[in-house]
Structure 1
Amino acid sequence: MASIQIRKFCDDDAEAVREIFTLGMSEHVPSSFMHLLKQPLCQMVLMCTFCALITSSKSFLLPILAVTLLLAGARQFVVYMFNKYIDTSLKKDLNNISEVYLNQKDTCFWVAEVDGRVVGSVACLPNENAPGCLELKRLSVRRSHRGMGIAKALCRTVAGYTRDRGYAAVILYTSVVQTDAQKLYEHMGYEKIREFVVPELPAKIMNFTLFEYRLDLQKDGKSD
């Protein structure tokens, strides 16, 4: 079995970290598209368009073509949403990891390395809404290296760092479509404490829900 090393980020890791994050987020486009199609508003628009056109045109071809175009547009809408989030994340912190995570108090950024290759990352910083907690962020593992316990090791690293600095808990946010992440966090002892829809209009249209999880370190004995 390959040896996994968790270490602090250095500037030479920047390109690999951005690649892992971008590819990881892009993987959620198909599941997010399916999530959009399950929403009543989307189904109503597709159904009304189909019925209106088949009634007026007396042909199946036009309504089928119109619905196909609407589906293609919906998928592009989802792609746009994720590309915008990726671009925002890169500008916010991933283009300047050292400044954001290594030069500030109670912040850190780690990478997971296997055979000299960076295959995962995670970060933490103080949570803005919970002064006694650190927030786990940017957890991502290359698809080729999943199932090796890397994500769990990165989560434990954040929990240990948080406890060592006297914080009460770790907070994190994940989305409704990230089902594997939800299972991981719940397996690691995190409890879901809140659900809310992202306030931006595109996310409201999709009913794109975020879940807030909390790991209480006083109650947890398995984080290290």
Structure 2
Amino acid sequence: MANYKIRVYQDLDYEVVREIFSSGMSEYVPSVCVHVLKQPWVLFVLTCTFLSLLVSSKSLILPVLAITLLLALGRHLLGYFWSLYIEHCLKEDLQDIQKTYMEGKGSHFWVAEAEENIVGTVAVKPSDDRGSELVLKRMSVRKDFRGLGIAKALSRQVISFARQGGYQSVVLNTLMVQHEAQRMYESVGFKKYVEFVLPTIYGKLVNFIISKYRYDILSAN
């Protein structure tokens, strides 16, 4: 088991932190594709396309090739839109990490180090909805270092920071494909308090579910 330590973010960590976030989010593309494929309307379209081509062509090759092409095109489009989301994050709070997370009250950024390399990240900032609440963001651990308790340690670092700052709770958002992350947060003490479909055309079309979790500082004391 690799030893690790958690420390405060430094400017020298900038590129590595952004790379960890990008690679971590990119891992979800296959899971998102599977989620979309399970939607009833998608299965209906694929089935109708297959049967229509099978009847009209009286050949199995054409419908199989057509479905394969549609799946490949869908995978490409989902990957493209997912990359746009990643780029959006990199140009927002991760564009200037020092300013976003290290200069304001209630904001902070930590990294986890193992084997002299940064292998995990987490950040926190004040909630826009409640002044007594902090939002946990940018949790990510490199794939080869998962299962060592690093994510739990980073979560507890945020909770400790919130407790010392006199905040009442820590909240976070997860996506419908982040099953391992949800189980990890629940094991630390976070509780799901609301679940909703992303209120956009794309979100409703693919049933893009966001689950919100909260850790109540006062009830945990």
Shorter-chain TM-score above 0.5: yes
Q: Is the partner of 1:130 in helix, strand or coil?
A: coil
Aligned twin of 2:70? 70
Equivalent residues of 1:54, 1:63 under 8 A apart? yes
Aligned twin of 2:89? 89
Matches within 5 A, 1:38-117: 38-117=38-117
The question of 1:196 aligning with 2:172 is answered no
Once the 2 structures are TM-superposed, how far is the Cα of residue 201 of structure 1 from its aligned partner?
A: 2.5
Query: More displaced, 175-184 or 190-199?
Result: 190-199
Aligned twin of 1:147? 147
Aligned twin of 2:21? 21
Post-superposition CA distance 1:160-193 (Å, at most 9, x none): 1111111110000001101100100110111101
Q: Is the partner of 1:20 in helix, strand or coil?
A: helix
Equivalent residues of 1:109, 1:123 under 8 A apart? yes
Post-superposition CA distance 1:199-223 (Å, at most 9, x none): 23223222111100000111224xx
Aligned twin of 2:158? 158
Post-superposition CA distance 1:40-82 (Å, at most 9, x none): 0110110111112112222212211111111111111221222
Distance 1:151 1:87 in 2: 23
Distance 1:100 1:12 in 2: 16
Equivalent residues of 1:81, 1:202 under 8 A apart? no
Matches within 5 A, 1:181-220: 181-220=181-220
Aligned twin of 2:173? 173
Post-superposition CA distance 1:89-121 (Å, at most 9, x none): 000111210011111121000001113211100
Post-superposition CA distance 1:97-156 (Å, at most 9, x none): 001111112100000111321110000001112332100000000111111111011000
Equivalent residues of 1:14, 1:95 under 8 A apart? no
Task: State the identity %.
Answer: 48
Q: Residue type matched to 2:47 in 1?
A: M
Distance 1:198 1:83 in 2: 18
TM-score of the superposition, structure 2-length normalised?
A: 0.96
CA RMSD of aligned residues (A): 1.2
Equivalent residues of 1:197, 1:204 under 8 A apart? yes
The question of 1:137 aligning with 2:144 is answered no
Aligned twin of 2:36? 36
Q: Residue type matched to 2:181 in 1?
A: A
Mark the runs of 5 or more structure 1 residues left unpaired by the alignment.
none
Equivalent residues of 1:2, 1:114 under 8 A apart? yes
Mark the runs of 5 or more structure 2 residues left unpaired by the alignment.
none
Q: Is the partner of 1:219 in helix, strand or coil?
A: helix
Q: Residue type matched to 2:120 in 1?
A: G
Q: Residue type matched to 1:97 in 2?
A: I
Q: Residue type matched to 1:4 in 2?
A: Y
Q: Is the partner of 2:30 in helix, strand or coil?
A: helix
Distance 1:204 1:139 in 2: 26
Q: Residue type matched to 2:141 in 1?
A: V
Q: Is the partner of 1:207 in helix, strand or coil?
A: coil
